[in-house]
Amino acid sequence: MMGNMIERVVEAREAKEAIDIGRLVFGTSVQLLSNTIFSIDILHPNSNEMKELHLLNANIMLLVGKPNLGDYFPFLKPFDLQGIRREIKVSYDRLHELVDDMIDRHMKNRSLGLDHRHGDLLDVLLDFTEMEGAEGLTRMDVKLLIVDFFIAGTEPITTTVEWAMAELLQNPTIYSKTKQELEHKIPLGRTVQEQDLPRLPYLMAVIKETMRLHMTAPFLLPHRAEQDVEICGYTIPKNTRVLVNAWSISKDPLYWDAPTIFKPERFMNSDITDFRSKDLSFMPFGAGRRICAGMNLAVRMESLIFATLVQKFDWKLPNGIAMGEKFGITLKKAEPLIAMPV
Ligand code: HEM
């Protein structure tokens, strides 16, 4: 998978072309996820369909995050005045078609017997469709789970790597420290691999600092109070919709020294050893029972993609860099990062 990504960057380098980093990373994360789930690539990284999926996904994130009048005035809901539901449906329908197609292929193979199982996540989920009772899943459950994984997974991974690269390219000292760590820890000529990640503390600190400063899910997902609760003297009544402002917590000067500065060193020798600090000042994947279901996979995917881009290439910026943010249900880079491999 990383081989495909490297090949595409090499091609661009030879043609002296700049690359849209977000598009490159999106294609790679779709490939990684689709191999974990379906054992094959659902789409070729350079295909028009991959471009379409990238747009669809970004569109879904933007539309889901858009304030919807129907949420504030439920009697307006059926009218879909802003057309949000209509627009989102087009994107969802296309994603459902792709996943349906994969499920059909797996079912056909399974009907041929045990030897034709792929042993991937979809096979495991389809095993549950053959179970009776509470544990059993329907085909629709399986499809919705997978659609969720694609929507929940690919966009934040893409955005995180794009920000990490953007921060590196405008901080030459951090760039060379990251590169030097890779040069020292990985034998010459070998491409960085997943099992190398625990030996790259500085690179992991860059990823953590990126996720602190550029939280992709600034309000986590909406939660609901199951009962009346009192927090800091305020009563939150049962059934209240609760949005946790993790974005602001991760920049609170009470917890963070110079919070607006990109400083990976703050995570070196710190007691925040994973992606959720004990005091919850750092929780890019949420915390507690509703914590991101794909956290471990996501950390490995984004770190490996980022490490590969830094280890294998040097980059320059043909058009400079703009660091603005764009808000949907996720927080994206407003301007795509266009960089030239050299
Ligand atoms: C950098 C990448 C990712 C980030 C930053 C991220 C972040 C989050 C956050 C903040 C939540 C909500 C937690 C809460 O409200 O308390 C969440 C939920 C979720 N994420 Fe992720 N996520 C990422 C990647 C993934 C991947 C790769 C998958 C699956 C393949 C995934 C699957 C899910 C699912 C299924 C939920 C809903 C869990 C539930 O509500 O029970 N995520 N994620």
Q: What pLDDT does 83 receive?
A: 61
Burial class (CB in 10 A: 0-12, 13-18, 19+), 243: exposed
**Residues 298 and 285 sit within 8 Å (Cβ to Cβ):** yes
The response to whether residue 217 sits with its C-beta less than 6 Å from ligand 1 reads: yes
pLDDT in tens, 45-94: 666 666 666 666 666 665 555 555 555 555 556 655 566 566 667 767 87
Residues forming a β-bridge with 235: 230
* Distance between CA atoms of residues 172 and 181, nearest Å: 14
* Distance between CA atoms of residues 74 and 77, nearest Å: 5
Number of C-beta neighbours around residue 178 at 10 A: 23
The response to whether residue 293 sits with its C-beta less than 6 Å from ligand 1 reads: yes
Asked whether the predicted pLDDT for residue 329 surpasses 60, the reply is no
Cα–ligand 1 centroid distance for 88 (angstroms): 20
**Residues 215 and 246 sit within 8 Å (Cβ to Cβ):** yes
Cα separation of the two ends of the chain: 21
| Ligand 1 atom closest to Cα of residue 150 | 30
pLDDT in tens, 287-327: 988 899 899 999 999 999 999 999 999 998 877 666 666 65
Residue with the smallest CA separation from ligand 1 atom 11 is 292
DSSP-derived secondary structure letter, 40: S
Number of C-beta neighbours around residue 121 at 10 A: 18
Cα–ligand 1 centroid distance for 275 (angstroms): 12
* Distance between CA atoms of residues 340 and 314, nearest Å: 8
Asked whether the predicted pLDDT for residue 15 surpasses 70, the reply is yes
Closest CA to 90 of 142, 42, 53: 53
Helices and strands counted in the chain (H then E) = 11, 9
Share of the chain above pLDDT 70, in %: 80
Place of tokens 């889901």: 64
**Residues 167 and 313 sit within 8 Å (Cβ to Cβ):** no
The response to whether residue 215 sits with its C-beta less than 6 Å from ligand 1 reads: no
Residue with the smallest CA separation from ligand 1 atom 24 is 153
DSSP collapsed to 3 states, 106-146: HHHHHHCCHHHCCCCHHHHHHHHHCCCCCCCCCHHHHHHHH
Q: What pLDDT does 81 receive?
A: 57
Q: What pLDDT does 229 receive?
A: 94
- Best substitution site from 141, 292, 301, 303 to test ligand 1's pocket, by max atoms within 8 Å of Cβ? 292
The response to whether residue 167 sits with its C-beta less than 6 Å from ligand 1 reads: no
70: Cα within 13 Å, side-chain hemisphere: 12
Q: At 323, phi and psi to the nearest 5?
A: -105, 20
Query: What value does the mean pLDDT take over residues 160-180?
Result: 95
pLDDT in tens, 19-48: 999 889 988 888 888 888 887 766 666 666
